[in-house]
Amino acid sequence: MQPEIERNKINTKNNAGKKTSIRGRLRDEYDIQSETIRKGQLEGVLERKTFAQETSVFVGTALVVFGFVGFVVDNLLGAHLSPAHNVIHLVAGALLVWFGFNSEQRAKKCSLICGSFFGVLGVLGFIVGTPGMPSVGTLVRDDSLWLLSPEQLEFGSKDHVIHLVLAAALVGGALMKFRRLRREEI
């Protein structure tokens, strides 16, 4: 065991100015001896998802669940959920989950596109919306009802707020630039 430690000290002195691999940096940071690293032991740390990917998967999963539950409960969270509205949530959620598991760049692009889409829907809903009575979801008079397609796609005030929250989460998650390494995965 002692020669291994001496060899690592010599190797670190010799490689002082050189760039090391991720595996080498992890080995140095966590003081892991080379014979203790077996194939795949550091895989969880090396292939850790970025915050953009995690946000994309989390929000996408929430949208998929929201879309499926919306077919049963048409006024979930006070939203006006029609079948067409639920399908849009399912498609956006599936895309976010798919690209979230795919790669960091694709997760960022998809999060930015979906976030921008939901942001525009939220802002336009408050600008274009007029007082009215919805025909789907919560059947209460709304001061900011936007009838894209009567009885098919109707957005009320709570829909606009939900869309703006989704936009903030997706765009914020896509723009975050940090990676987390967990010590317990080693």
pLDDT at 46: 44
Whether 167 is in a domain gets the answer yes
| pLDDT digit string, tens, across residues 54-99 | 999 999 999 999 999 989 988 888 888 889 999 999 999 999 999 9
* Shared domain check, 118 and 92: yes
* Shared domain check, 154 and 70: yes
* Segments forming the whole domain that contains residue 153: 51-175
In which residue are the tokens 């001896």 written? 33
End-to-end alpha-carbon separation of the chain, Å?
A: 20
* Shared domain check, 92 and 129: yes
Residue 70 neighbours by CB under 8 Å, 6+ apart: 76, 79, 81, 85, 86, 89
Whether 183 is in a domain gets the answer no
Identify which of 62, 73, 68, 49 has the alpha carbon closest to the alpha carbon of residue 166: 62
| pLDDT digit string, tens, across residues 122-146 | 999 999 988 888 877 667 788 888 8
DSSP class of residue 120? H
pLDDT at 185: 46
Domain count, the chain: 2
* Shared domain check, 158 and 74: yes
pLDDT at 39 over 50: no
* Shared domain check, 66 and 9: no
* Shared domain check, 60 and 40: no
* Shared domain check, 128 and 55: yes
Higher-pLDDT residue of 101 and 40 is: 101
* Shared domain check, 80 and 163: yes
* Shared domain check, 145 and 169: yes
What confidence tier does 121 reach under pLDDT thresholds 50, 70, 90? very high
Whether the Cβ atoms of residue 156 and residue 126 lie closer than 8 Å to each other: no
Residue type, 36: T
* Shared domain check, 41 and 22: yes
